[in-house]
Amino acid sequence: MNPLRRILAILAKELTQLRRDRVTMGMIVMLPLIQLMLFGFAINTDVRHIPAALVDQSNTALSRVLAQAVTATQVVDFTERHATPEQAQHAIVQGRVRAALIIPDDVAKRVARSPSLGLGLGTPRATDEELSRPVAQWLVDGSDTMIASSIKGLRNMPLGELLRKPVNQSTPTFAVALLFNPEQRSAVNIVPGLVAIILTMTMIMFTSAAIVREGERGNMEMLINTPVRPIELMLGKIVPYIFIGLIQALIILGLGHLVFRVPLGGGLLALTSATLLFIGASLSLGLVLSTIAKSQLQAMQMTIFILLPSILLSGFMFPYEGMPRAAQYIAEALPATHFMRAIRAVLLRDALLADIRTDALWLLGFMLAGLIVASLRFKKRLD
Amino acid sequence: MSAPISSDEVRSDQVQPDQVIRAQGLTRRFGDFVAVDALDLAVERGTIYGFLGPNGSGKTTTVRMLIGLLTPSAGSVTVLGHSLPRDAEWLKRRIGYMTQRFSLYEDLSVRENLQFVARIYGLGYRQAKARIRTLLDAYELADMSRRRAGAMSGGQRQRLALAAATMHEPQLLFLDEPTSAVDPQSRRDFWEKLFDLVDAGTTILVSTHYMDEAERCHRLAILERGKKRADGPPQQLMDDMGARVVEIEAPDQRRLRQQLLALPQVVSAAQLGSRLRVLVADDIDDPVAWLRAQPVAVGAGTIEAARPSLEDVFVISTGGAERE
Ligand SMILES: Nc1ncnc2c1ncn2[C@@H]1O[C@H](COP(=O)(O)OP(=O)(O)O)[C@@H](O)[C@H]1O
Ligand SMILES: [Mg+2]
């Protein structure tokens, strides 16, 4: 009875304080909104409309058709024209364009002999230099690998349309069937991941300040002289934020569904369990930080210390499978990694609770360990 | 002169049932610095016991050790018959503590603060409601129960803090400089409340640097640089201070003071408006006549004996800082 009463005392107090803290209240709603819009619209691995320069040394009808065919792919926009490759390269150095297409003056001859036209000339022999020459050349700013690979994708652009001749399609070696996200939209993968990132940020941030704030505002000496037990204090401090975390998850997934057409597949039970467990794990991790930090500023710095690897290593930005072994080990130690896997499985691949049980158990473990460590670290003493 | 004026010693071999606080050799070091140095204390039930000392003399540190918030570097503490720091949790339900700095929530209202404290001490809904109403009336907070604590005056906050500290009707109350941010009228009113609590059977330990407050305590310990310099009822401390007080009116007080301090029998001399307050060692029977006979006093005006004050006790027991 009394332990419950004390937890409720802390809980009610936290809620009242939270209600009066306009900045925090605003952050609860604005943070997910802004992040969702920023990440949802900005992150796009399918790069289009790259500004490029055109150096047309041939200046014939054929070269103009070639340039138009390239523009039609939407991969690049020709934003400037230059007379020489040197000038185009200069534009790349200055950053005005990311690539340049150089069409040589003998383009007509090259097109006529190009094997990609499929005119039945057979495989070019390596000794026959003329036959193996490409039609034109791309200069690409290779420093951004994403842009480079988009332009590399143009290498085998079919030239059939160019001469209005039928192309004999070659049969691919593999057939690829896309089971999920058939339209290949990045938002579908990013929005569920955003739930993990935003919750990591806000949940850890709120609770990492929870204990130090009592100290900084001078309430700690009163608080530790009451009969409240550390575990009661910790529970009273995290429960209000569980609701806030759920509200944030709701905002992100709701808007993600409406604006970015992210599918909400899978079981509601699996989704709710995974989200609750992750909120609990993040909150109790924040509490642990709060017992270490000496000031709210330090608590904030520690939050960033957790947030950065959560963004970079959790699989949010780069596939987990592509990371080196050491980074994978670090990733496993972050609650965000497990939630990232679980929520993508549930939302995008219709997984059920049984399918994500390993990650759910990890999250449960993080939560309990965090609560225990924070309670043990919290001393009702001043020395 | 720096030997403690102690009317009775704390003995380890007998535990008196009336002693709610007993401390022996209580010491606290912060690194090399000794904040509290081998303190012996005994506080009797139903009394107000005062700690008198300037800032930095170790009052707060001592109170924190007596509550179990700080672990002593050496020495032992027994409060309400329980040994500290072992039984600190047991003690928390039975003592009230008003911290030196206001430590309730400034962003909560008077009533919300009291509700929080009531719940955390496990009072039931009805019990809490009744108790809060009693406290709001007793501490004249009823008509500002909705005001945020951060928006209240020093005196109002102090009454709120006392109300919160007495929520669970503790037998023993620790008040650390409760009146330091309060005007004189509020201070007098506050002490009336303290006497009401003592009449109801509460024991109070209060720290202060005000002499007039110290004088109201049943018993007093004078602290200076972590050491107990004197211990006893205020009147007894003044009677037994080992010096007599003489006040001299003189034209050139500054020079007279220098000359008087050169005399071995003069313990201290301090300027008090137009007069000089001189403490003369009590082995001189008639200090007024003795002073008049001194060559330095030639040209001085009125010389008369005065009533000793706690300030005098303080000056003497802390070794007459004026001598240096
Ligand atoms: N946590 C601490 N660390 C280091 N020194 C401290 C600490 N607490 C108090 N002190 C020092 O101990 C001395 C006594 O302090 P305190 O007990 O607060 O005195 P008072 O309450 O009489 O003003 C001061 O010199 C203070 O600087
Ligand atoms: Mg103090």
* pTM, to two decimals: 0.81
Residue % of chain A over a pLDDT of 90: 26
What interhelical angle do A268-292 and A230-260 show, nearest 10? 130
State pLDDT tens for residues B276-316: 888 888 887 888 778 777 777 777 778 887 888 888 888 88
Q: What value does the mean pLDDT take over residues A248-255?
A: 89
* pLDDT, position B13: 43
State pLDDT tens for residues A127-154: 455 556 788 888 888 888 778 888 888 8
- Ligand 1 environment, Cβ below 6 A: B 30, 35, 53, 55-61
Closest chain A residue to B116 measured between Cα atoms? A9
User: For residue A57, what are its two tokens?
Assistant: 């040394």
Half-sphere exposure of B180 (CA within 13 A, CB side): 17
Q: How many CB atoms lie within 10 A of CB A153?
A: 12
Same CATH fold assignment for domains B47-58+89-237 and B242-307: no
Contacts of B31 in chain A (CB under 8 A): none
Determine which helix (DSSP H) or strand (DSSP E) holds A209, and give its type and residue range.
none
Q: Which CATH superfamily is domain B47-58+89-237 in?
A: P-loop containing nucleotide triphosphate hydrolases (3.40.50.300)
Residue B257 touches chain A, beta carbons under 8 Å: no
Q: Ranked by mean pLDDT, which of A89-93, A272-276, B7-11 comes out on top?
A: A272-276
Cβ-nearest to A2 among B106, B112, B122: B122
State pLDDT tens for residues B214-253: 989 999 999 999 988 889 998 888 888 888 888 888 777 7
Contacts of B95 in chain A (CB under 8 A): 225
Collapse the DSSP code of A263 into the 3-class scheme (helix H, G, I; strand E, B; otherwise coil) and give the result: coil
Show me where the domains of chain B are located: 47-58+89-237, 242-307
Share the mean pLDDT of chain B: 86
Question: A361 pLDDT exceeds 50?
Answer: yes
Q: What value does the mean pLDDT take over residues B71-81?
A: 93
Closest C-alpha among B107, B193, B70 to residue A381: B70
Number of CB pairs, chain A paired with chain B, less than 8 A apart: 79
Binning pLDDT at 50, 70 and 90, where does residue A168 land?
A: low
* pLDDT, position B12: 43
**Å between B44 CA and nearest CA of chain A:** 22
Binning pLDDT at 50, 70 and 90, where does residue B115 land?
A: very high
> How far apart are alpha carbons A196 and A65 in whole angstroms?
48
Residue A44 touches chain B, beta carbons under 8 Å: no
Cβ-nearest to B122 among A5, A20, A383: A5
* pLDDT, position A167: 53
* pLDDT, position B116: 96
* pLDDT, position B2: 43
Considering the domain B242-307, what is its CATH architecture? 2-Layer Sandwich (3.30)
Closest chain B residue to A224 measured between Cα atoms? B69
B71 and A380: CB-CB below 8 Å?
no
Question: How far, in Å, from the CA of B61 to the mean position of ligand 2?
Answer: 7
Question: B43 pLDDT exceeds 90?
Answer: yes
* pLDDT, position B310: 84
Chain-centroid distance, C-alpha A354: 26
Binning pLDDT at 50, 70 and 90, where does residue B274 land?
A: confident
Residues 6 or more apart in contact with residue B322 via CB below 8 angstroms:
B261, B268, B269, B270, B315
Half-sphere exposure of A275 (CA within 13 A, CB side): 27
Query: In order of start, what are the domains of chain A with their CATH numbers?
Result: 50-179 (3.40.1710), 185-382 (no CATH)
Contacts of B106 in chain A (CB under 8 A): 217
Ligand with the closest atom to the CA of B59? 1
Binning pLDDT at 50, 70 and 90, where does residue B165 land?
A: very high
Is the Cβ–Cβ distance between B276 and B291 less than 8 Å? no
Share the mean pLDDT of chain A: 84
State pLDDT tens for residues A203-246: 998 888 888 889 888 899 999 999 999 999 999 999 999 999 99
Closest C-alpha among B127, B206, B131, B213 to residue B167: B131
Contacts of B122 in chain A (CB under 8 A): 1-2, 5-6, 227
